[in-house]
Structure 1
Amino acid sequence: MSATPPPSTTAPLADPTAPATPVALPARCEVLVVGSGPAGSACATVLAEAGVDVWLIDQQDFPREKVCGDGLIPDAHHALARLGLLDQVMAQACHVSHVRCVGPSGGQVDVPGRLAVLPRRQLDWLLQRHAIARGAHCLTPVKFEGLIEDEAPATHGGGARVVGARLRHAGALHELRADWVVLATGAAMPPMLAAGLCTRRTPSGIALRGYVRNPAVVANQRTMDVVWHRDLRPGYGWIFPVGDATFNIGVGAFFDTRGDGRSVAADANLREVFDAFTRVYAPAKALMDGGEFVGELKGAPLRCTLGGAETGRPGLLATGEAIGSTYDFTGEGIGKALETGLLAADALLRGRRAGANDAAVCADYGAGVRRLQPRFALYERANGVNRHPWLADLVIWRARRSPRLLRRMSGVLDETSNPGHLLSLRGLFKLFAE
């Protein structure tokens, strides 16, 4: 088993346009961003471009692996375009024209979309280096140890004000004072618990993915395949091409955060689900039978539905998957992580220009996040397909006969229609009326 990714999953290790990496943390800065994934790097980029003294840290050196399906759907494209990074990302990504939806009975439909796949090892490295090139200071590996709070109560908003963070770098503890701290720490809960922003400890789901190289299947495996089957409940399997005859293959299982169905997913053995996927879906079996693992199968928790966390408190904002920016049902999270990072930066900049108090900045950011909530609620409703995969058979059967429904499914990718509408009682009735 090879432990080294192929060229398509390895980003360049140098960027001559980026400033030199600093070797020490300062005593203070305007904004400290903790976490250098999509949300954190997007936030830092926008702040740095506006002239803010922003520091971006992460507990890992980059490039690094991240468990993800690696799919870039249009919401990610829009965010990358705003950051000025879309062309560079698309130059390295594997372009895909369709998502292939496959139901338990074997029926399938190809849904067109503006799609691409780029391993997170590459994408996150590009985003971090882009933030540095735009003026953000970046240092890794730096571990977040906790927040520094003002001893006096906050004048606006509840609780003591956050005035910085305790960080560990090169074995030494360092205190960095900041006007604002932004937590972009992903699905790991300890930072959010330490910040007092976590309201739900359990994740929304779990995922397992690996990279497999198999030149023999390249000609037949050109779509982003998403597969539902009773043996994969309460989740699904996927195969996404990443280039160089290599594929991201994985499975995910989602909890029922609305009711008492959590135990079904919580008890899921994802390795057994992965094995079931390679058994029930012929292309997955063909990929694995003649393929070679690149690295190891890796798992990770998912936090979805924009739930389970507060978005901020005086001196502190949280963004990305830390606040549940991953969609239920599909597990797509890159675009919305970028989006929430942009929302955090925009709120901080508006507050900076207006001289706004903490409460106004937190309220501004919270309102921006809440505007996304209705869409997340519809994805949560659509998550019923993962628990009842026969619904996928029904929608696929009808989409093969209805160009209008196929356009609506494509609209889910473009965010011009919502999956929850397709699976409401009214939506199911309309399947037979179109």
Structure 2
Amino acid sequence: MSVDRIHDVVVVGAGPGGSSAAAFLAREGLDVLVIDRSEFPRDKVCGDGLTPQAVYWLDQLGCADEVMAQTEACIRDCDLFINGQHLLTGGFPVGTAYPDFAVLLDRKRFDDTLLRNAIAKGAKFEGGRILRELQVGRDAVELSCQTREGTRAFKGRIVIGADGVSSTVSRAIGNTLKTGAMALSLRAYYRDVECEGAQIKVYFDRDYFPGYGWLFVDDKGFANVGLGYAVDRNFSMPGKLAEDFRRFLERELGTMLRHATRCGPPSGGSAAFFKPNAILADRIMLVGDAANHADPLNGGGIHKAMESAFFAAETAVAALAAGDCSARGLRAYERRWGRHVGFDWQTAELFLSIAKNPHLRDFCLFTLTQIGRLTDADRQFQEFCSGVFSGAISQSICLSPRALYHAFPKDPRVWQAMFAAEGGSIIGPMRIARGAAQSLGLAGVEMVRDPLANLDWGIEVATKAVRLVQRGVAETPGLTQPAGIHQTSLQRQGRIAAPA
């Protein structure tokens, strides 16, 4: 196979990360080719929720208006359930760098919109190209792809791997896939769901913790419903995902789905939440799920993919201008990602490492319940917690005693309300203390029954905690800020607020 044309950048994968990278690069005047194994539009397993951060990046890409025109759901708050009981309704924080709302749009239309945006900016696209092999040469990377017509080859001075959790590009630079913490999920679409307006509902339950179920429904009753687990080599899935998904639908959503119609069979998906050995090599960078960049705390991957795409595109432009596309020349990508996102990602990874131990499920859910009761009675604390969980507020801020002091409720009535839920101002504190002790005691007994796995888990948590503390000594947690970009045009034009 001979290839005469060498593109500046070949992007492998046309999901949010790949199409965003292509758009950022093409608007700088580079010759960009995007290849994907699928023809577009195509479906993709996902919750379909676009966080405030994703809305921000859509604006930076110049396609926020097109996405907003397609959505039937603009949501400012979320309902949280624990063990079948409604705990609170909370909203996204105000006053951050991001809007205070999320939107819903299925990935088939969303990903197609991002790809068309990249093409409009000058990128080229070829679908039905399955990457089989890549070879790094002196002047370019050659990619060998399988097509319906046979084998095709492409060349790029730089390759950006945005080909998801099973990334061929990631394997090519020496990474071993799916060896750490993973999320496994099932998702189905329903129409005619009985729900008053667009809503986001999240369900935590001991039967499928660590993990959660969700229902994202738009104004027309069209819903994305799913259930996901967090697993790794020591702690496998406690049950069968398909059976648990069926029970979740019957137990939690039976009333809302009683007259609904499922749109096709459930689909499965996965995401990885561990740091790969490398996210770059000579002439190659990884973004999004190919780099395991999804948020370990909430599982969100769309905005992280778009964010990493910005860093990678910026690095590619500089490397091509300098004539140095070696790993050394691309190292700025890793540095910028670590500086802007690394501390938060490490913090979220530590939280997941603790919570993924199934023996701690009762203690974790007990703690979430008490925090939820506090947030339900104190708006400031609620915005702090929802901001940390969603990533709109820096997750590493949880490591700052000063920030925690300012965030925790000061009004005695808030604490009295929490104690009242447990029996009163005298009995309540004792019941809370007893509940915490009992759940921890039960966890200890269960851990003793499986000492090797729990010893390995303890060493892992301790190691990550030490690394995080070492990093925290040199860094001050604060509000998450976008990657060096200033106020969005939506904010400047007064369009950042959700429609009433």
**TM-score normalised to the size of structure 2?**
0.72
* Deviation, structure 1 residue 26: 6.9
Q: Write out per-residue CA displacement over residues 108-167 of structure 1, whole angstroms, 9 at most, x where no aligned residue.
A: 2122121111111111000011111110010111110110232x7xxxxxxxx8622111
Q: Is the 8 A contact 1:208 1:300 kept in 2?
A: yes
SS in 2 for 1:328: coil
| Distance apart, 1:233 and its partner CA | 1.7
Give the 3 Å change call, closer, same or farther, for CA 104–420 of structure 1 in structure 2. Answer: farther
Q: 2:376 aligns to what? A: 400
Q: 1:275 aligns with which of 229, 232, 246?
A: 246
Distance 1:176 1:417, change over 3 A: closer
Letter of the 1:84 counterpart: G
Partner of residue 133, structure 2: 146
Q: Deviations over 1:64-108 (max 9, x none)?
A: 111101111111111111100111111112211212122226142
1:338 match: secondary structure: helix
Cα 1:149/1:337, change in 2 over 3 Å: same
Corresponding residue for 1:264?
236
Alignment partners' CA distance in 2, 1:293 and 1:26: 49
Map residues 98-247 of structure 1 onto 2, 5 A cutoff.
98-104=77-83, 106-113=85-92, 114-150=101-137, 163-198=141-176, 201-202=179-180, 204-215=182-193, 217-219=194-196, 222-247=198-223
Map of 1:7-18 to 2, 5 A cutoff? none
In structure 2, stretches of 5+ residues that fail to align are 93-100, 412-500
Q: How many residues align?
A: 390
Structure 1 residues 376-428: Cα deviation after superposition (integer angstroms, max 9, x where no partner)? 1222233355743222212111111222211212423362242882999x969
Provide the C-alpha distance between the structure 2 equivalents of 1:304 and 1:360, rounded to a whole number of angstroms. Answer: 26
Q: 1:80 aligns with which of 51, 58, 67?
A: 58
| CA shift in 2, pair 1:423/1:101, >3 Å | farther
For the pair shown, the structure with the greater C-alpha radius of gyration is: 2
Provide the rounded CA distance (Å) in 2 between the counterparts of 1:390 and 1:209: 27
Q: In structure 2, the residue corresponding to 1:42 is in which secondary structure?
A: helix
Question: Is it true that 1:389 corresponds to 2:365 in the alignment?
Answer: yes
1:63 and 1:356 mapped to 2: Cα distance? Answer: 36
Structure 2 distance, partners of 1:66, 1:243, is 22
Distance 2:391 2:150 in 1: 47
Residues 308 and 64 of structure 1: is their aligned pair in 2 closer, same or farther, counting only changes over 3 Å? same
Distance in 2, matches of 1:420 and 1:235, equals 23
2:175 is paired with a residue of what secondary structure? coil
Greater RCO between the two (CA within 8 Å, min separation 6)?
A: 1
- Give yes or no for the alignment of 1:57 onto 2:35: yes
- For the 8 Å contact 2:12–2:35, the answer to whether it is kept is yes
More strand, by proportion: 1
- CA change 1:397–1:228 in 2 (3 A) is same
Could you say if the C-alpha distance between residues 247 and 430 of structure 1 is closer, same or farther in structure 2, counting changes exceeding 3 Å? same
Which digits, 9 at most, give the CA deviation of each residue in 1:288-341, with x for residues without a partner? 322111122001111125x12411100111111011121113111110011111
Richer in helix (by share)? 2
User: 5+ residue gaps in structure 1?
Assistant: 1-24, 153-160
Deviation digits for residues 231-261 of structure 1 (CA, Å, limit 9, x no counterpart): 22221100001453210000110125xxx6x
1:300 and 2:269 aligned: yes
